Amino acid sequence: MHFTERNRVSDTGAARNSVLVGIAPPNDGLRLRVLQDQPKGDGGPIKGELQILDVGNNKHSESLRKLLGRTTDAEEVVSLIRAAHPSCVSVVNANILAVERNDGTGDRRQETGDRRQ
């Protein structure tokens, strides 16, 4: 599956307790759970609290490890990554995250809206 503009959280929204995955190089492999509904139409930071489930393999992984498994928010995430990389955008912006789909095979994928697989 490939990233398309139509499956970004900013375009689809995400329900409370959804698992989101990073779809850009700065947040590659990042997995997080959102603790409130995310509206579509906003590409900025995830709203409300979130839990980082996996830091992935990206330039921010080491910094994000401090937040692994605990409840945090977008403001804390961006503060932490900017301590190491001052000019970076937030890795928890809705325009670079997609809803994860787990099809029961253990194969986690980003949601594309296309159910023919």
Helix (H) or strand (E) holding 108: strand 108-110
State residue 74's pLDDT score: 98
Question: Could you read off the pLDDT of 11-50 as tens digits, one per residue?
Answer: 999 999 999 999 999 999 999 999 999 999 999 999 999 9
Task: Name the residue ranges covered by the structural domains of the chain.
Answer: 5-101
* β-strands 97-102, 71-73 pairing: unpaired
Neighbouring CB atoms inside 10 A of 44's CB total: 13
Which pLDDT tens digit goes with each residue over 75-89? 999 999 999 999 998
Eight-class DSSP state of 88? P
What is the pTM (predicted TM-score) of this model? 0.84
